[in-house]
Amino acid sequence: MSLPTRRGVVAGSLALAACTRASADAPTGPLPPLKSLASFPLGVCATTEQFDELGWTELVRTHFDRVTPEWEMKAEAFARPEGGYDFGRADRLADAASTRGLKTFGHTLVWYSQVPRPFQALDGDRRAFAAAYRAYVTTAARRYAGRVVGWDVVNEPVMDDGQGYRDCLWRKNLGMDYVRLAFEHAREADPEAVLFLNDYNLEQLPKKRADFLRLAESLLKAGAPLGGLGTQTHIPADLKPGRIAEAVRELGVLGLPVHVSELDISLTRGPGPLASRSSLEDGQKRLATEVVQAIQDLPPAQRWGLTVWGARDRDSWLRRTPENRGPRPDAPLLFDDEGRPKGVAHAVAAALKG
């Protein structure tokens, strides 16, 4: 979710064993390739530099079908401050994924949090702003047509309090048409990619989920080429049972593919002070199982997939926050810092088998 930081290179001997050696908290025995067990695609977020790490690459190739760029395909990565575009890092990532047999899912064309400087200079000039908006979306989408299987076209458009939609420079200049226009421009540039609306906290905030679904319905009624719904699913390990299943079930009502698009299950964000680490790790396994089962409960055509927001714990965006500089940092992912499968990875495998 944020600009990736430099990571150290994992030792080769540890990396090559990453897929078969379990962590102390996991069941004994090898972990089967997760993608071999799944009835839907499994994805992981990636940065360009990670493809230079043998251990990371082998881990990802073993267990996942596709990658989502963590930062490389966001507006601030594409747009130069002085104007024009820089696709170098995204090109290298997409090419690296393709040569390793991995598909790429684009993330994200339009996000309230990122408005490149050239657009800020056009604030208040609707005609010029709209022309620049179309040029940006079509340029980016056209460049990766045939190279990405889908796009998060608009990311996080809904306010958290269930009071409507976020204010941002896109909306200020184009109204809520900015959402519909983004989908239309993306489809103009790429006739094949599946186009998603994506947001977070949909499992924790029912009012926000209702607004999200209301926006999706309005797009469909307006004839926008909305192709799927993404729920990020950044969740705490003590989330109440049933919340994820309820959210995925409601998202599925529109008949569109559903993507659990950025899964991580935090041991440090949200849980109360009395929660023990072991109980949170149990919660992590329970919630991962619930995610898999919720996707499996959808009709096959609606199971777009499950993407985890990082392969190893040390790859997580959560590790870059100040609270994770202590002796027991967050461990929100399926594999530990060295790439060894944790109990939560085995829980996912068991759920996929079931």
CA nearest neighbour of 107 among 63, 136, 149, 146: 149
First to last CA, the chain: 31
Within its chain, how far is the Cα of 290 from the centroid? 18
Catalytic residue status for 156: yes
Identify whether the C-beta of residue 212 lies closer than 8 Å to the C-beta of residue 221: no
Total residues found in the chain within this entry: 354
CA nearest neighbour of 109 among 197, 1, 4, 216: 197
- What is the signed CA dihedral for 287, 291, 297, 303, rounded to 10 degrees? 180
Q: Which residues contact 293 (CB under 8 A, 6 or more apart)?
A: 245, 351, 354
Tell me which of 58, 156, 184, 290 is the catalytic residue.
Answer: 156
Tell me which of 53, 70, 184, 262 is the catalytic residue.
Answer: 262
Q: Which residues pair with 69 in a beta bridge?
A: 46
Catalytic residue status for 262: yes
In whole angstroms, give the CA distance from residue 242 to residue 350: 19
Active site residues: 156, 262
